[in-house]
Structure 1
């Protein structure tokens, strides 16, 4: 898990740059006015106010990469830190909102546990009927060239992500496509990054498109209107996906450097 987290840092930076370029291109092409610079005093004030919240990222990454706690334990530590932060420093949390958050967490956890149970049964059936071998042979018949196979895997994962929740896509698709990707030379950690970026694309694509529907509800705008203007950002995601898929060092350099990862 630590290697997977370290592997995500460089792709995240690449994705951020791609998104910034897309946002800048859209803003310039549509003539959006520049924002008013608040002055360096305003910048420092905003940065200082954000430091307590940003520390949670440092705590989680430092703890996991140093081996002080596991990823699961990091989640518990993050919850405790967030509660202390919102109750004592930002003072935006009260007992009523805490109960609402707990109820939503229980509901989400129940859905995830159900998915885990179903995926375990699904994995057993796939092993029983050798689905991974069948898919590998099928992709092998289409092409024996690794880059073509990786492209087909990306297309299939993207299509699955448009119809399935992110957790379901990961739990169900991983045991099918990970052995195939490894057979054609892709590292498991690299495949994890490919899977996550495909899930990010799926989360922003109807008919499921969870994050897109939430964003549209918050912004009070229709999904159709968003879909007409979202293509530059899709392009940024696809560009990052292609880099991670075909340039292994983007996802493997930091795990090897920081953790001595070797597979």
Structure 2
């Protein structure tokens, strides 16, 4: 049986997945990725419409005066407008950022509503919000880790080829072109996941009602991580930087990720869930 909790989870995760594909198209100009992202976003619109229609039927004339339904209607409207913009004007960058904002509004609406039940009965709303936030963050860190390993392999293979030093290990590595391509794909998977995790983190802080948490070292350092990977993508797509320098930058960005994890345990007031004894 599909409960309201499961429907909410489906909307959030499909929304996040659609933004991942839309971002991948922005970074890599791939029509197939764009079609998948737009298709998933259309499915999000359908799920939102079903949810909205159900609330309208159950609440009848009073639904429009509810703050929760008003926020949901606003998020639904953002998705609707972005789909029209994508089809008519093809302003992909605008569509992406409008929907990041729409995703944050939707999460704020769901996780601040007393009428929303968590998927698991033993959880409360904050547990579920943190679960989605941590899931997205861990996914982004996994993608960044893979990207860093691939960039390290690229630099190793490039140095070996340049110095004409052959070894059996080199035969087991992909080509330089493939290593660079796979590293870039890892980054364009990780970056939108981290952005969405950051958006949910901001929602959680807003629900906590403590603005001091916005200045937490983990939050600030995560912004640096986001900026480092956005700059990596910018250098590759716009500046056409030399691939060896891009690989080195990717490793430097991953060093900030590692520092971010250390900061979360040593300095952060509320990101101390790693390595707890």
Q: TM-score, with normalisation over the residues of structure 1?
A: 0.28
Q: TM-score, with normalisation over the residues of structure 2?
A: 0.27
